[in-house]
A and B are shown apart, each in its own frame.
Chain A
Amino acid sequence: MDSDSVSGPISDPCRDQVGGTIGGPDGRAIDGTVEACFGGAGGGSADDGAVGAAAARPHDAVLDGPRADPDEAIDDAAAEDPADGAIDGDESCGPRGGAVSALVNAAARGDAAAWEALVERFSPLVWSVIRAHRLSESDVEDVWQITWFRLTANLQKIKDPERVGSWLASTARHEALRALRWSRRVTPVDDVDTVSPWVNHHSPEQAMLESERAAAEADRLRRLGEAFETLSDRCRRLLRLLMATPPPSYQEISEALGMPVGSIGPTRARCLDCLRRAMAGEPPRHRRRAR
């Protein structure tokens, strides 16, 4: 145990779990095993196992999600005016024009239907961000829940509610990267890797049956999957993002992948060209310049 590194002595915090705190300030008896919660930081001194002030000093580059600024509180009336919801330079494909900020503001005021509409609108985006990272099943669920839970706590203070999609993409990416980094010691994974839709529980044939599609279409779908698997991880990540319905804006993709907006278009073109060539059975061309 690396006990010197934080803020001085941390006496093995696993060892003095319940026993050390039974006589805690609130005097509550603790029966010992599961989810025992109590006041005081542990039976001993204030420094014992407490959070070190120096180590926990606020750090200003931690969250890369959009930061809320209390000075830029949302003006409900203004934000609901579609004219005020215009986005500068957002290459959006989805329904916009103030509709999203109106939903965010309504949900912030307690409108559950507006929340449900937000979930419906943006869950494919959040799902695509998560699926663009190879996470364990439990991490998938954690990242998913954290992303939405955080939104509930931040509805009032999101700086640009029209861009809540970017906020969600950024939050999901941040949590996915954190999970990847810290799950590694439990389940080693290669790199930030993409879960392709084709390695899911369904086979294309089953899925097509379920959706009552023709066998020819299932075949096409399978070939698409085989071609997708030949792509670089960078391409698979970007294309997985693009598969969200409705298609994400470039701003959202940028937040989701940490990719500059300017490189999304050329990368998309290159990756789709690679995919098309792979489907046609052409060998991948290396060092090909994107047009």
Chain B
Amino acid sequence: MPDDRSGLEEELRHAAGILDPVPERLLRQAVSAYAWHTVDAEPAELTFDSHAPEQAVLVRGPGAPRLLTFESATVTVEVEITECGDTRRLTGRITPPRPAGIEVRRPDRRLHVEADELGRFSCDGLPAGPLGLRCSTAEQTVVTDWVAI
């Protein structure tokens, strides 16, 4: 009874529209997410995540730091996230090693940190939530994929 099914499906859709619509606040967040769009930066894709769902077999225990690798065409950014109670500690390294200005992006703020001549940087006391990095070196600017830490 395909017509019957379609009617029932439409009824469900109608119910979800009434009972469980996209919250207005989240809609506004999605619209304002566009502020993070940059046309001039090179995207660095998340190519390794020790906490990816399919990595779960490799879990080393709940306290193990999370390792992330972002790669652009020219730069690799490796990041380690350690949970310290309610906050997170981030240490990272840019390769090839070079000094860089690092913008630590959170949904509601931007923090700044310098990577040293070995490309290392770190950041303490980060609350849980989405995080992205924008790394500006003398040669180029790279933005990483966003991750939830």
Q: CB within 8 Å of B: which residues of A?
A: 1-2, 5-6, 10, 13-14, 17-18, 21, 24-26, 33-42, 46, 49-53, 55-64, 67-68, 70, 107-110, 112, 115-116, 119, 123-124, 126-128, 131, 138-139, 141-146, 148-157, 174-175, 177-182, 185, 195, 197-198, 200, 202, 204, 207-208, 211, 221, 224-225, 228, 239-240, 242-245, 247, 268-269, 272-273, 275-276
Rounded to whole angstroms, the CA-CA distance of A243 and B8 in the bound complex is: 11
Rounded to whole angstroms, the CA-CA distance of A153 and B122 in the bound complex is: 23
A178-B52, A211-B18, A221-B15 known; A37 vs B112 contact (CB < 8 Å): yes
A-B contact pairs, 29 of them (CB 8 A): A13-B80, A21-B122, A35-B125, A37-B121, A39-B120, A40-B121, A42-B91, A49-B122, A50-B93, A51-B67, A51-B69, A55-B50, A115-B31, A144-B26, A145-B107, A151-B33, A153-B132, A153-B143, A174-B52, A174-B53, A181-B51, A198-B15, A211-B18, A221-B18, A240-B16, A243-B12, A272-B5, A273-B5, A276-B8
Residue of A with least CB distance to B111: A37
In the assembled complex, which residues on chain A have CB atoms less than 8 Å from the CB atom of B45? 63, 67-68
Rounded to whole angstroms, the CA-CA distance of A59 and B49 in the bound complex is: 8
Rounded to whole angstroms, the CA-CA distance of A138 and B26 in the bound complex is: 12
Q: Are A56 and B48 in contact (CB under 8 A)?
A: yes
Q: Are A153 and B20 in contact (CB under 8 A)?
A: no
A37-B123, A149-B146, A202-B19 known; A107 vs B34 contact (CB < 8 Å): yes
Smallest CB separation, A252 vs chain B (Å): 15
Band of interface residues on B? 35 or more
Q: Are A145 and B120 in contact (CB under 8 A)?
A: no
In the assembled complex, which residues on chain A have CB atoms less than 8 Å from the CB atom of B125? 17, 33-36
Residue of A with least CB distance to B104: A37
In the assembled complex, which residues on chain A have CB atoms less than 8 Å from the CB atom of B118? 40-41, 46
Rounded to whole angstroms, the CA-CA distance of A240 and B62 in the bound complex is: 31
A21-B122, A36-B123 known; A13 vs B22 contact (CB < 8 Å): no
Q: Are B67 and A2 in contact (CB under 8 A)?
A: no
In the assembled complex, which residues on chain A have CB atoms less than 8 Å from the CB atom of B12? 224, 228, 239, 242-243, 275
In the assembled complex, which residues on chain A have CB atoms less than 8 Å from the CB atom of B79? 51
In residues 1-50 of chain B, which contact A (Cβ within 8 Å)?
2, 4-5, 8-9, 11-13, 15-22, 26-27, 29-31, 33-34, 36-37, 39, 43, 45-50
Rounded to whole angstroms, the CA-CA distance of A50 and B77 in the bound complex is: 12
Rounded to whole angstroms, the CA-CA distance of A200 and B67 in the bound complex is: 36
Q: Are A5 and B122 in contact (CB under 8 A)?
A: no
Rounded to whole angstroms, the CA-CA distance of A119 and B84 in the bound complex is: 35
A2-B64, A51-B91, A119-B27 known; A247 vs B13 contact (CB < 8 Å): yes
In the assembled complex, which residues on chain B have CB atoms less than 8 Å from the CB atom of A63? 45-47, 52
Q: Are A13 and B20 in contact (CB under 8 A)?
A: no
Rounded to whole angstroms, the CA-CA distance of A157 and B45 in the bound complex is: 11
Rounded to whole angstroms, the CA-CA distance of A57 and B69 in the bound complex is: 7
Name the 4 nearest CB pairs between A and B, nearest first.
A37-B113, A197-B20, A243-B16, A51-B78
Q: Are A2 and B61 in contact (CB under 8 A)?
A: yes
Q: Are B78 and A53 in contact (CB under 8 A)?
A: yes
In the assembled complex, which residues on chain B have CB atoms less than 8 Å from the CB atom of A14? 82-85, 89
In the assembled complex, which residues on chain A have CB atoms less than 8 Å from the CB atom of B89? 13-14, 17
Residue of B with least CB distance to A151: B33
In the assembled complex, which residues on chain A have CB atoms less than 8 Å from the CB atom of B69? 51, 56-59
Q: Are B33 and A70 in contact (CB under 8 A)?
A: no
A51-B67, A60-B47, A247-B13 known; A149 vs B143 contact (CB < 8 Å): no
Rounded to whole angstroms, the CA-CA distance of A2 and B99 in the bound complex is: 31
In the assembled complex, which residues on chain B have CB atoms less than 8 Å from the CB atom of A70? 73
Q: Are B48 and A59 in contact (CB under 8 A)?
A: yes
